[in-house]
Every structure is written in C-alpha cells, then in structure tokens.
Structure 1
C-alpha cells in the first residue's frame, strides 16, 4: 500500500492496528506502527493505545512504557486510556511501587485518574492482601471527587465475601442503594462466588434462588450455581 503511495485514512489505520492487537499479533502491530510513525501516518492516540494495552495485557509493561515515552517525545498528547493501560500493566505484574509512581506522574501531567484507573488499583491491592490500604484508597477516591461506580463496588463486594464480612456486605449494599446503584449480574456473581469460596454453600444457594426468581441471572451466575451443586456432593 505504502509502496504505491496509498495514503490510508485515520479510521482505516486505527482499525487495522486494533485488529492485529485483538488477534494477538502485537509484534506485527508494533512493526506496522513503527513504519507508519516514520512516514508520519500516525494521527492520534487511537492508533497506538491498542498497542499499549496489548503490551500491558501480555506482561510487557516496560515495553509499553518505552513506547509511551517515544510517542510523547514525538509530540503526541496521551489521553486517560493511555495512562490507564500502564496502570493495568504494572498492577498485572505486581509492581506496586511503579503503580503509585505512575499515579503521581499522571496527576503531575494534569491527567486526573478516572474511576476505571482507580478501580484497577483497588482490585490490585485486594488481590495482594492489602485490605485496609484498598479501603483507604476508596475513601480517598471519594474525597477527591471520584465516586466509585458499580464496578468498584462489585470488586469490594467480592473481597468482603472472601473475608466472610457479611455485616459489611449488608452495609455496603445499603450504601449502593442510597447512591442509586442497583446490583447487577456481576454483583451477584461476586457475592455467590465469594460465599462459595469460604464454604458457605447453603447461603450461596439461597442467594442464587433469589436471583433466579428476580430474573437477573446470566451464564456466570449459572456456572456458580453448578459449582454449588458439586460442592454439596
């Protein structure tokens, strides 16, 4: 295409890079991107953000970081999605120091982390056994005007179930209700899965029956229901 002086449009380039990344062909996407960059065919963050995410999802956050700075050096302005990709990558690889250094870097560059980026960090802290630190982080989110959304609360619900803190779960659901956030199928999956993990099979089954009667079950909830049956054998 380039040899015949064909100038692809921005949507075409973005879609092509995204298709390569979705197919797991990250190295090919990087090669194509480097060629396009040399020929000044890269127009916006929508061309390279998929590559940042693909690298971070495959444990190559430092490579993504190098790409981030290369693009920045070329004069492009990153958006929230670019920064969030690196947060996800550092969390995925267990690099806590990098996570919070990057958070500070974002803010110093005038990019206030949104609820998605901060929820990734909350889950990372929970997964690494830092319960109090995660809850303090949620409180900090709220103080700074970044209100937790349903996904954030689902992450908290899941962790509370794993810790058998049923009173706290009840209180959290009331808070969700006060904020107009109704539990969805992910909320129920988190609750049932958490109860099942700590051995409360009977409670999980009762909750599942209530979910079925409300018509809010999906495939994930049905799979948990099958796990309940197998656990009772």
Structure 2
C-alpha cells in the first residue's frame, strides 16, 4: 500500500488484524499490531477485541489480560464483549475464582455485566455444583440493578432441574419468573 502513495490507516491495519485472527495466525496479527504501535496509529476497541478473542481461543488468556491492561493504559475502555470473551474461557475451564474476579473487575472499571455475562457465570457455577456462589451471584445481580431475563431464569431452572435434590429450588426460580 505504501509504495502506491496511499498510506494505510488504523482502519486498514485493523482489517488485516481481523483477517489474520480469522485465519488463526495470531503471530501475524501481532506483527500488524506492532507496526501500528511503531507508526503511532491509534488502535481501537475493534482491533483489540479481535486479538483478545483469538488469544482466548488459543488458550492464551494471560496474554488477553495483558491486552486488556494495554487498552486501559491507552485510554481505550474495554466493553462488555471484551470481558465476556475472556469470561467464556474461564467458564469453559471451570475457573470459578478467575471468572468471578473478572466480573468484579468489570464492575470496578464501570463496565456493567450483561445478561450473557451473568448467564455464563451462573451456568458454570451450577454445572460444578457451587450453589453457594450461584446464590451470591444472583444477589449481586439484584444489588447491581440487573433484572434477570427469561434466558437467565432458563439457565437457573434448567441447570437446577438437572441437579439431584435441586428441583424445589428450580421451582422457586420458576415462581419468581412468573411473578415478574
């Protein structure tokens, strides 16, 4: 591009980063990101989110956290999607403390968890039988002004129905859902 007299901009580089990420070539994506840094091009949320997603898919979640920190240092606020892609990794690997810690981090950085955030965490906690943490998270949701959607209730009811001795609790959430 540069040899034709047209200089690539941040948008052009972001397209390459996304393409490399979709082709599962994370090293090439980082080379493009490094070039953007060298030329002092402004990176954006889209650029970082593409790489964060691919890092998590390749089990490089610690590198994803480094990018989150870099984003914040550059004044780019991660959005719910940025956090949810990392949260999905923790939930898939049943990393309870890291998952719940990430939700707390979201709240500290004023990035409110959404329905998907809570649903992933609740499903993970139910699947591993951490009902104490399920109740705690449900209360946190209410404290934060989050009103469960039908899908959130479905996660609770379906998950609890599958667990021995939790049918009565599942019915309680069903009644709550109907009352709302």
TM-score, normalising length: structure 1: 0.58
What is residue 125 of structure 1 aligned with on the other side?
Answer: 90
What is residue 68 of structure 2 aligned with on the other side?
Answer: 103
Flag the structure with more relative contact order, 1 or 2, with Cα contacts below 8 A and sequence separation at least 6. Answer: 2
**150 and 36 in structure 1: CA distance in 2 versus 1, 3 angstrom threshold:** farther
SS of corresponding position for 1:176: helix
**Could you tell me how far apart the structure 2 residues matched to 1:168 and 1:139 are?**
14
Q: Number of residues paired by the alignment? A: 175
Q: Residue deviations 1:143-201, cap 9 Å, x none?
A: 333332322212211111112233432343333234332223442453355446x5559
- Within 5 Å, give how 1:43-192 maps onto structure 2: 44-45=10-11, 47-192=12-157
Q: Residue deviations 1:36-85, cap 9 Å, x none?
A: 9955275552x554553453345322222222223444443111121121
Structure 1 residue ranges without an equivalent (≥5): 1-34, 215-233
Q: Residue deviations 1:75-99, cap 9 Å, x none?
A: 4311112112111111110013322
Q: 40, 52, 68: which one pairs with 2:6?
A: 40
Q: Residue deviations 1:125-153, cap 9 Å, x none?
A: 23223211222232233233333232221
TM-score, normalising length: structure 2: 0.72
SS of corresponding position for 2:87: helix
**Could you tell me how far apart the structure 2 residues matched to 1:101 and 1:69 are?**
14
**Could you tell me how far apart the structure 2 residues matched to 1:97 and 1:178 are?**
30
Q: Which of structures 1 and 2 has the bigger CA Rg?
A: 1
Q: Which moved more, 1:139-148 or 1:158-167?
A: 139-148
Instruction: Confirm or deny: 8 A CA contact 1:115 1:148 kept in the other structure.
Output: yes
**Could you tell me how far apart the structure 1 residues matched to 2:28 and 2:21 are?**
8
What is residue 10 of structure 1 aligned with on the other side?
Answer: none
- Within 5 Å, give how 1:11-26 maps onto structure 2: none
**Could you tell me how far apart the structure 2 residues matched to 1:61 and 1:76 are?**
19
Instruction: Confirm or deny: 8 A CA contact 2:53 2:85 kept in the other structure.
Output: yes
**Could you tell me how far apart the structure 2 residues matched to 1:127 and 1:57 are?**
21
